[in-house]
Amino acid sequence: MPLREKGGKYGLANGGRLMAKLAPRFLIQIRIPMAQFGTVFCDHMTIARFENGSWGEAAMQPLAPLPLHPASHVFHYASTCFEGFKAYRWQDGKARIFRLHDHVARMQRSAKSLYLPIPDADLLVGMVEDLVRKQIDDIPQPPSSLYLRPTLIGTLPNIGAAAAPSTEATLFVLASPVGDYFAGGARPLKLLVADTFARSTEQLGSTKTGGNYAAALGPTLDAKEKYGVDQVLFCPGGDVQETGAANFLLISDEEIITKPLNTSFLHGMTRASILTLARDLGYRISERDFTVAELFEWVPTYEAALSGTAATLTPVGTLVYNGEEIPVRDGNAGPNTDKLRKALQAIQYGDAPDTHGWLTEVSL
């Protein structure tokens, strides 16, 4: 069986077909709705350890629980960071990984900011490519893809190391086949505009670390329950930043407005790619700080969208602020968001040339 679900006997592949193991060498495929993002895993992982001041060799192994000392630094002091990006399987049967080297570089920046051992770029690139090669037959055709999740954790067994870095670490890569986020159409999202709390701190906002997601969880669950929103747009002190797992953009026929890079928010690869494509298409790019007050001046005429690996570019239809619902334009998905998303997907799916060199082909 090529794929395995958490603790279960089912896996999912090839754009929504359930692979059910009935007997050791007897596989059937049934069409069912795609499993929830991130709940189905390929049956192998790659893993490497940092000990005595250096990285060991990476190994391919069956997906399995990790034996970890209960005093591991990560459990107590949150020394962890991760990445998320996708491999696409084209008509020619080969896989292409989107912005692999940029994601590896972001992982290195995250590790550095957490004082974790920094993975060598070649080591991590090799771990990802080996896993994609191993699981090539489990990569569904576009618009589905293989989501890749490198993760780095501090494993030093020392509960007295609250103010000291973990000098031991484990790096592993998981692979998870995922479906098309827009299978049911691009439904515009509803966001709570929250100007009283932050999703991270000034120094860790651009680090892809678990603590940021923990900080965003409570406000997001609260907002879902109270206002029926999909996500929270974090705007501490009125500074419009991002949601719990995506960047925020305003888009008109001529211009894209989004926050300039600083350490308060995650520097999304999708954001960077959309801005580059938009520039190619003649849009003016305005990377500038803006306030909640300005946001509400613009939304009658600008489209709003969230960018991220999982959903590419998702339209935002409604903002909730001070208990009031404010539509973005007419509340529907806008044409510019649609155009930019399609331009990016065309490159990822192999329908348009990769003029910026964003794709890494995995040799078989």
Report the 10 Å Cβ neighbour count for 215.
18
For residue 234, the minimal CB distance to ligand PLP (Å) is 9
- Give the integer Cα–Cα distance in Å for 360 and 95: 8
For residue 254, the minimal CB distance to ligand PLP (Å) is 23
CB of 29 within 8 A of CB of 19? yes
> Between helices 269-280 and 100-113, what is the axis angle to 10°?
140
Which CB sits closer to ligand PLP, 28 or 221?
221
For residue 21, the minimal CB distance to ligand PLP (Å) is 32
For residue 156, the minimal CB distance to ligand PLP (Å) is 26
Paired with 101 in beta bridges are none
Which CB sits closer to ligand PLP, 167 or 243?
243
Give the binding site for ligand PLP (CB under 6 A). Answer: 84, 242, 245-247, 266, 268-271, 307-309
Pairing of strands 255-258, 284-287: parallel
Amino acid (1-letter code) at residue 280: D
Which CB sits closer to ligand PLP, 81 or 131?
81
For residue 189, the minimal CB distance to ligand PLP (Å) is 14
CA distances from 86 to 15, 154, 309, 321, 329 (A): 15, 25, 7, 34, 32
Which CB sits closer to ligand PLP, 83 or 168?
83
Which CB sits closer to ligand PLP, 270 or 336?
270
User: Residue 185 contacts by C-beta under 8 Å, 6 or more apart in sequence?
Assistant: none
